Amino acid sequence: MMTSNDHDRNPPEIQTLHDFLNKHPMYQHQLAQLLGVTTSSVEKWSSGSRSLTPRTKLQLNTLHERLNQNPEIREKYVKTSLSGFGSSQSTQSAKTPTASQCAVC
């Protein structure tokens, strides 16, 4: 069982939205769906107008672990290559923050 002291010695891997999206690039609406929040919330985290709460950081770390442990889920949500996307999704790609665009970092 992990205690709060263990948590302090081993900080979570994901501290920012940038950390998460670097490891699991995906569209904002997909991340919102997975976290059970609105796309607007993800947009605000991305733009820096809203900070990640400790609860959200915990959710991102849990999702990070689940995506790493479940290749089927990871394959469904995580972008592996921008060239692999069809034109029907290209309009949504502008909403996805990249490492250099993420204002939360």
pTM score: 0.67
- Positive or negative, the CA dihedral 35, 40, 46, 52 is negative
CB neighbours of residue 3 within 10 Å: 8
Lowest mean pLDDT among 10-19, 37-46, 76-85, 95-104: 95-104
Residue 88 CA: distances (Å) to CA of 23, 33, 71: 24, 19, 24
29-61 pLDDT, tens digit per residue, is: 999 999 999 999 999 999 999 999 999 999 999
CB neighbours of residue 69 within 10 Å: 9
Residue 94 CA: distances (Å) to CA of 5, 22, 103: 41, 16, 15
pLDDT score for 81: 60
